[in-house]
Amino acid sequence: MKNKYLNRARISERKFREILMYFSEDETASKTAKYAKVTRKTVNKLYDKFRARIAELSVADAKEHGEFEVDESYFGARRVRGKRGRGAAGKTPVFGLLKRDGKVYVNIVKNCKRKQLMPIIEGKILEGSTIYSDGWKAYDGLILNGYDHYRVYHSKDEFVRGKAHVNGIESFWSFTKRRLAKFNGLTDEKFHLHLKESEFRWNNRGNLYKILLTEFRKKPL
């Protein structure tokens, strides 16, 4: 069946676009199968292809100059009762940076120590840029690395001080966790794909369907 968006297609272009529209609206695979009147297996296969291509499209851009917020978050198992501070048993640490009036970039890390985070910061942010963070010790020394650095100390109930805050990246964490709450556990591979999907959705709000349709036409799935 001819389909300029999908190699070896077994569905029409019209049906493909319908499924992609539901995906762009963030509908679950089960609801999409019901609405589009196709099997859940068909939708799952297409959703997997969509997410794999999105991960390809979400490769790191060139280093940028500007104002950035940096932060870490933890995904997965519930936080252990009584445990405070960074992380908890069974959680996956994720580091994120957000350029104000720009894009967010996230990356799974082994831990949230300086040795893990600094290469990502230096690989994405040009010297002379301004970085806003909380008081986490891994960010000590950013000034020595050529950045202007301003902190807010959440441990002291400080969340905004003038332009110093990390509200933007924290909004992304909330958005992503709300999205992932729809799924009952994810394998490591699936988590990576869903994480990059959340990044892509955040960076392309309002026109996701048109962007994906264009990309799939340029390089069919």
For the chain, the average pLDDT equals 90
Which residues are registered as beta bridge partners of 110?
A: none
Q: Provide the pLDDT for residue 88.
A: 60
Residue 6 lies in a domain: no
Are 123 and 172 found together in one domain? yes
Distance CA 47, CA 43 (A): 6
Total number of domains constituting the chain: 2
CATH number, domain of 162, equals: 3.30.420
Residue 32 lies in a domain: yes
Are 119 and 31 found together in one domain? no
Are 138 and 85 found together in one domain? yes
Are 102 and 150 found together in one domain? yes
Residue 149 lies in a domain: yes
Q: Provide the pLDDT for residue 81.
A: 46
Are 28 and 102 found together in one domain? no
With a cut of 80, say whether residue 5 has pLDDT above it.
yes
Are 38 and 102 found together in one domain? no
- Using CA atoms, how far residue 101 sits from 16, 202, 209, 211, in Å, is 33, 12, 22, 20
Are 77 and 171 found together in one domain? yes
CB 106 within 8 A of CB 199: yes
Distance CA 12, CA 4 (A): 10
> DSSP letter at 135?
S
Tokens of residue 9, six digits: 């297609």
Q: Provide the pLDDT for residue 80.
A: 45
Are 166 and 100 found together in one domain? yes
Are 73 and 172 found together in one domain? yes
- The parent domain of residue 146 ranges over 67-176
With a cut of 60, say whether residue 7 has pLDDT above it.
yes
pLDDT tens digits for 16-63? Answer: 999 999 999 999 999 999 999 999 999 999 999 999 999 999 876 789
Residue 196 lies in a domain: no
Residue 5 lies in a domain: no
